[in-house]
Structure 1
Amino acid sequence: MDNQDETCSFIEALYAKYCDDRPVEEIELVQKEPGHRRVTEYIGFDKLMQSLKNVTNLQHINLANARISSCGTLDTLELSHCKINFISFSDASDLESKTNLFPALSWLDLQNNQINDWKSVAELNRLKSLRTLILKRNPIYDMNQYYYNFNHVISRIGNVTTLDREPVTEALRKDGEKYYLKTIYPEYLKKSDSKERKSFLEENPRIHQLIDKLGEPVVAVVQTKRDKIKQNFITLKIADTENPDENKRQIQKQVPVSTKVSNLKFILRRLLKIDIGQDFELIISAENYAEEMQDRNDITTYRIEDDHLIKVKRS
């Protein structure tokens, strides 16, 4: 530089050297063996590795306001083995907006890095022209099986047509997006807190778009043991005012909803210790409702509410 006291950032220096109205054709960095890198250069990029030789744990690249718009023809970027663990485009404000960086980038290699969160994967959806992505051998892939990972990546990045060298056909994408919605939709329904919902949408920015496209998935309701008991059993309040044992004059009994009245009477005869020779009837009793239960019917034949009593009427 003419003025030795004048300084500029590393990005500005690269811009001035390579992107200021100069044709850029190809840059290739080749690692010959562990610990040693050889730079093959077609446009005089030999200074780059010298500038980066002390960088051993690259975690975050921020190119905001870096004046790289003149490099808008860049379509291939190889960033494998760079120890990248986080991706963010700060110039994109809302969930579905695209970044103005790398507008022509269609081929991106991020294999063998340290990406371990779905938010970073979802950020790649902001690249306008991305079609081919290599993401294998990142920790995010270690959390689930290949089928799960593949479908979750293509569902988060809408333009990708090749993932980890596997073509993403229209049919494959449709099936993958259905699978993705089915796996995350129950979690989406649970996010009532605004902070939790915001964090979830940052990881899944296309979920509303996919719901509009495919419809809400049918989610099987997972019943707890309590729910199953409540659905298949009924608790009856039994009143036997003539029972000589005061402790048995009012009891509760839980029985299957499929129980017949005749079987219920058999159970109550034993519980209430009613003599085998004594007949009795069961009467459903409420404030404005009373009905005698017939032996041949199931108990579900009758409208039995929580405040109803079943009275034992001895003959």
Structure 2
Amino acid sequence: MVTPDNLRPGVTRVRDSSGFVGTVVYVGSVASAKNRNEIYAGISWDDATRGKHDGSVIDRDTNQLVRHFKCGPTQGSFLRLNKVDLGCELTPQLMRSRYVEPDAELIAPDNVLPHVARTAGGRSKPIEFHGELKIRKRQQLEVVDAISLRMLGISRPCDGGSEELREFNHLKCIDLAGNLLSDWKDVVAITKSFPSLQSLSLASNRINDVNPNLMIGTSMECLTTLNLNSTNICSFQTLRLLGEAIPNLEELCVAHCDLSDIDAEASATMSFNNLELLDMSDCQLTSWGEHIMPLSRLPKLESFVLNDNPIESISFQETADGLDFVALASLQLAGTSIHSWKSVDELDKLPALRSLRLRNTPLTSSLGVGEVRSTTIARLPRLEYFNASPVPERERTEAERRYVSDVARELLLMSTADDGGADGKKRQVETRHPRFGALMEAHKSAMMASSSVTSLSQGIQDDVVGVTIRSMAAGSCDLEPLHKRIPRSLKVGRIKAMCSRAFALDVDLQILHFRVDGDPFPTELDDDEHTLAYFGVTDGAEILVNEIDVEAREREEARRREQHDRLVEEQESHIAVVQSMQRQERQILPGQSA
């Protein structure tokens, strides 16, 4: 039986029979209730459309608006205490319920599932399932060392303690994401029940900050991986306390937590001496100097994820020992507010950096994917992966030569301009391109072989590329591919016209992609008015031509229209219900108060 003593506003998590989850934010009487002495729990649901109000009601006696708590317009509910579900404890029975018993009835006794697949012609085909018993043997809790307990409503440890869970002492990895845990005291109690635990996910549990007075002890010492994404952590002090309690931690994820209170003093006392991966995506970090540099002395940090933080610029201060991010090999900056190439140039000061993710930023939004990639590769000499795609040596050479060519043209235009300030502008250009001199020297021989180094009027002759154009369309995929040398200034629309003649494909129905050796996925050429250079098509690339399936597109559009109409109908129905309830309240309450 739930009592007011069981409920802690802002901490206790609850669920309903439909699977919706929320937080108790109020415990007490409700002004609109018939029985003013009855105690209710005010819930703010995670789904902002689950509730009926914003935490306010009309007082039955005064007919005035009374606010008990604050939330979204349709996010709040009041529940009687006998309707409150506080979740369940982590028991052996719950753990076993996730796995099939060895002697349970077979799903496919004759290697055929009780379902069928429909062919394009409308016929039914049986679905075969082989090896069910072999799979089942490998999924027994006595055999596996990793278990998923996601979204089961777990809110507290087993009442029987470690003794009742002794049979699971061998488990090394437990995923508790999406449950109802909210207190670190319960988390500590759970970890004590699994002495071999090395990896723990608590993502999407609204766990609050660690109480400095909590005795964590040694229960989490063996952890090497901890996932705290989308929790209620909002103080960097919690990370400092966890660092002291988990000295062997190698991977820590705290994405979507507000850690903007980080400072140099707090980070200086961190004990994450073995940390290799740190994910701080969307943590409201705004300043590289104030929020990121305090973490620069983590000695083993190899991978740092900073996606979706409003960081505008990057800069490093000269240090006597040069020990800032000495092991950092991978950095992710997608979705940040980086707006200048100067910040990218600063990354060259990271001695171990080999992988960079940079997209959806002000710097890259106005440039083509290929141009961003080529320029970044040229500016960072040690980069081996960019946006998860490897950088082969051939691509690096072409990118650096193109970069030198572009800067040289810019300098040439300034030298020929009749402007008294040309020398100052040249120095500004050289300052904006710190690697130009070194790259010019490195590629001097290639430049001399193609044009005069002194004139630089034509730059490096890499404006013509050799490509293979291959049709993937059903009606022409058996035709021989085209091998062409074409200028990089050629627009995608002209390529489509060429494919139309060669493969008899409608220009308006063509979809073009290109890829080079080592690319995991082709890049779409999705704008007819942009050139091959804009997309970064390089020498030796392969252009793939596909054709839109008109009938499939029409079916997809029809499905989307149907889905849209259904959503609109559901929203209108919901609005009508809410308005009807509000009208009834206005009609009933005045009469009752009289």
Q: What TM-score comes out, normalization by structure 2 length?
A: 0.28
What CA deviation, in whole Å up to 9, does each residue of 1:237-260 have, x standing for no partner?
A: xxxxxxxxxxxxxxxxxxxxxxxx
Where does residue 78 of structure 1 map in the other structure?
305
- The residue number in structure 2 matching 1:115 is 338
**Which of 238, 255, 263 is matched with 1:30 structurally?**
255
Distance of 1:180 and 1:169 partners within structure 2: 17
Report 1:252-271 matches (<5 A).
none
Residue 129 and residue 13 in structure 1: after superposition, are their counterparts in 2 closer, same or farther (change >3 A)? same
Q: Which amino acid aligns with 2:386?
A: L
Equivalent position SS for 1:77: strand
Q: CA shift at 1:221, angstroms?
A: 6.5
Deviation at 1:138, TM superposition (A): 1.1
The one-letter code matched in structure 1 to 2:307 is: S
The offset of 1:188, in angstroms, is 3.8
Q: Which amino acid aligns with 1:143?
A: S
Give 1:174's aligned amino acid. T
Partner of residue 580, structure 2: none
Q: CA deviation at 1:84?
A: 1.1
Tell me which of 134, 146, 149 is aligned to 2:369. 146
Q: Distance in 2 between matches of 1:101 and 1:20?
A: 25
Deviation at 1:64, TM superposition (A): 9.4
Correspondence 1:89 to 2:319: no
Distance 1:208 1:92, change over 3 A: farther
Count of aligned positions: 195
How far apart, CA to CA, are the structure 1 residues paired with 2:284 and 2:236?
19
Instruction: Report the 3-state secondary structure (helix = DSSP H, G, I; strand = E; otherwise coil) of the residue aligned with 1:122.
Output: helix
| 1:220 aligned partner | 457
Q: 1:80 touches 1:113 (CA, 8 Å); kept in 2?
A: yes
Indicate yes or no: 2:430 matched with 1:207.
no
CA distance in 2, matches of 1:18, 1:177: 43
Q: How do residues 1-315 of structure 1 correspond to structure 2 at under 5 angstroms?
A: 18=243, 22-31=247-256, 56=284, 58-62=286-290, 66=294, 68-69=296-297, 71-91=298-318, 100-188=323-411, 190=414, 196-197=425-426, 199-215=428-444, 217=447, 218=451, 219-220=456-457
Identity %: 21
Match of 2:483 in 1: none
* Whole-Å separation in 2 of the counterparts to 1:27 and 1:68: 16
Say whether the 8 Å CA contact 2:353–2:383 is kept in structure 1.
Answer: yes
- Mapped partners of 2:319, 2:424: distance in 1: 20
Distance 1:156 1:104 in 2: 20
Residue 338 of structure 2 contacts residue 362 of structure 2 at CA under 8 Å; is this kept in 1? Answer: yes
| Contact 1:122–1:202 (Cα < 8 Å) also in 2 | no
Contact 1:99 1:127 in 2 (8 A): no
Check 1:65–1:114 CA distance in 2 against 1; reply closer, same or farther (3 A cut): closer
Letter in 2 for 1:209: A
Give 1 or 2 for the bigger CA radius of gyration: 1
Contact 1:134 1:163 in 2 (8 A): yes
Q: Distance in 2 between matches of 1:164 and 1:64?
A: 21
Task: Please tell me whether the aligned partners of residues 12 and 66 of structure 1 are also in contact (alpha carbons under 8 angstroms).
Answer: no
TM-score (norm 1): 0.51
1-structure distance, mates of 2:411, 2:319: 23
SS at match of 1:61: helix
The answer to whether the 8 A contact 1:160-1:168 is kept is yes
How far 1:144 moved relative to its partner?
Answer: 2.3
Shift of 1:56: 4.6
Quick one: distance in 1 between partners of 2:426 and 2:245?
43
> C-alpha separation between the residues in 2 aligned to 1:65 and 1:59?
9
Equivalent pair of 1:15/1:68 in contact (CA under 8 Å): no
8 Å contact from structure 1 (residues 15, 67) kept in 2? no
Q: Which letter does structure 1 place at the counterpart of 2:388?
A: R
Which protein, 1 or 2, shows the higher relative CO under an 8 Å CA cutoff with sep ≥ 6?
A: 1
Runs of 4+ in 1 over 6 A off after TM superposition: 10-17, 191-194
What is the rounded CA distance, in whole Å, between the counterparts of 1:80 and 1:67 in structure 2? 16
Query: Per the alignment, do residues 126 and 148 of structure 1 end up closer, same or farther by CA in structure 2, a change over 3 Å counting?
Result: same
Report deviation, 1:204: 1.8
Q: Is the contact made by 1:64 and 1:90 (CA closer than 8 Å) also made in structure 2?
A: no
Q: Distance in 1 between matches of 2:312 and 2:409?
A: 28
